[in-house]
Amino acid sequence: MPAKTNTRVFSINDFLSWYDKGELDLSPKYQRKSYLWNMSTKSYFIDTLLRGMPIPPVYIRSITDVAARKTTREVIDGQQRLSTIFAFINDEFALSESIRDFGGKKYSDLDEEEQSDFLEKELAVEMVLTNNESEIADIFVRINSSNYALNAQELRNAKYQNEFKILCNTLAEQYRAFFLEKEIITKEECDRMQDAQLISQMLFILIEGDQKKMTEEDLDDLYKNFENNPKPLSFLQEKEEWLNLVMDKMLTIQNYNTMIKVAGQLTYSAQNFVYLFYLCYISISKKEKQFDNKRFDDFMQKNSNAVILLEQSSKKAIKIDIAEAVNSVKVLPYYTNLFIKIGSSSKIMDKILKLSPNKLKTFNNLDDLLNELLK
């Protein structure tokens, strides 16, 4: 019979009480000798708790000594999290300076209300109901085995624990609602850290000054560089300031929906958004930090004449070169009808740009798009 679990909720204060009384075993025999979290990882975890964000459940088995009338709780999974919590409460480390609102603070530096809120925070606990040691060991192995392949950004998030990663995740949280509202990425993609990927790409542009060479390997190298050669906090603060400056402009662009389509692709997409971010960035004077509207308009005009990509929901893209299409009268009579009906390539472009992202996703092929344009 497989081991059963019972979901419970306990406060941090409950765990602290058990720990002080010697009723919490953080190192049972089946626990692996895992690496110790570094200071960046500890800071990031405590910051997650302070902000009320979710963390994985702790797995515990209770063992009761009837004669001694004492219950000991073995931690099957969650040793590092609980050890970090206890160390923070005991003022054994201060949070990283880059942590917003709480940077540089120890537990004792929090005000009384913040300390109380921290102790009262509830942690999800899975109580494992078995005394079978082999079942416990099996549960531990299964919990610590990935059940799906991590994408590139998730791997970076797991591998690197530095100030650059913290900034990326903080800014991703800040702009997540905007990304979702503009349909740049989906909620499911946010859950897989594609918002942090977007921010990483934007910061790459601000640091490297270009976006032409920005592969996954380039982003890996950027994270690795911050891990091995930490930059002064002022460096990241400057890049954060620039990112917010560019985003402020993007948020105020009139007719934003059309702009993001013209910037390089027909539909909304993360790649399209990053390119638009790049165009906005290079349109801002680096000295006065003023936006040059004419320069930006020139960039947009040049890109509006480029090949348009119609990105399908299946992630397959159909290349449509409007100029070539309307000039292929002899080869493709279908386009002749399109040209005669609508009048000019610029008017064809205008009609395409008026189509909503949701409407575009309903097209299965090029003919579906053309039929819609001929209506």
Separation between Cα atoms, residue 141 and residue 147, nearest integer Å: 12
Q: Give the residue-averaged pLDDT of 262-270.
A: 48
Regarding beta strands 122-129 and 58-65, do their DSSP bridges make them parallel or antiparallel, or are they unpaired?
Answer: parallel
Domain boundaries, the chain: 4-143, 153-373
Residues 6+ apart with CB under 8 A from 4: 128, 129, 130
Cβ-Cβ contacts under 8 Å for 44 (sequence gap 6 or more): 96, 99, 161, 165, 166, 169
Percent of the chain predicted with pLDDT > 90: 28
What local confidence, expressed as pLDDT, does residue 305 receive?
Answer: 40
Beta strands in 31-81, from DSSP E residues, in sequence order: 58-65, 70-77
What is the rounded average pLDDT for all residues in the chain?
75
d(CA 344, CA 133): 76
3-class DSSP assignment, residue 301:
helix
Distance linking the first and last C-alpha atoms of the chain: 64
Rounded Cα gap, residues 277 and 250, in angstroms: 7
Please, which residues bridge with residue 317 across strands? 311
- Whether the per-residue pLDDT at 265 is higher than 70: the answer is no
Of 294-308, 316-330, 347-361, which gets the smallest average pLDDT?
A: 316-330
For residue 29, give both structure tokens: 């025999």
Copy the structure tokens of residue 121.
């925070």
What's the pLDDT band for 241 if we cut at 50, 70, 90? very high
Taking the C-alpha atoms of residue 146 and residue 130, their distance in angstroms, rounded to an integer, is 23
Residues 269/311, Cβ–Cβ less than 8 Å: yes
Instruction: Say which residue the tokens 């399109």 belong to.
Output: 338
Sign of CA dihedral 44, 49, 54, 55: positive
**Higher-scoring residue by pLDDT: 127, 345:** 127
Question: What distances in angstroms separate CA 168 from CA 17, 192, 193, 307, one per listed residue?
Answer: 36, 14, 10, 32
Confidence of residue 236 (pLDDT cuts 50, 70, 90): very high
As a whole number of angstroms, the longest Cα–Cα distance in the chain is: 96
pLDDT digits (tens, 9 = 90+) for 305-334: 433 333 332 233 333 333 343 333 332 333
pLDDT of 352: 61
Q: Are strands 308-311 and 317-320 parallel, antiparallel or unpaired?
A: antiparallel
Comparing 327 with 159, the larger pLDDT belongs to 159
More confidently predicted of 348 and 354: 354
Q: 280-288: long-range contacts at Cβ-Cβ below 8 A with a sequence spacing of 24 or more?
A: 280/246, 280/249, 280/250, 280/253, 281/205, 281/206, 281/242, 281/246, 284/245, 284/246, 284/249
| Of the candidates 262, 293, 266, the residue with the CA atom closest to the CA atom of residue 280 | 293
> DSSP letter string over 359-372?
HHTT--SHHHHHHH
Give the span between the Cα atoms of 40 and 84, in whole angstroms.
12
Q: Contact 318/312 with Cβ under 8 angstroms?
A: yes
In the predicted structure, residue 237 carries a pLDDT above the cut 90: yes
Query: What 8-state DSSP symbol labels residue 249?
Result: H
Instruction: Specify the pLDDT at position 245.
Output: 92
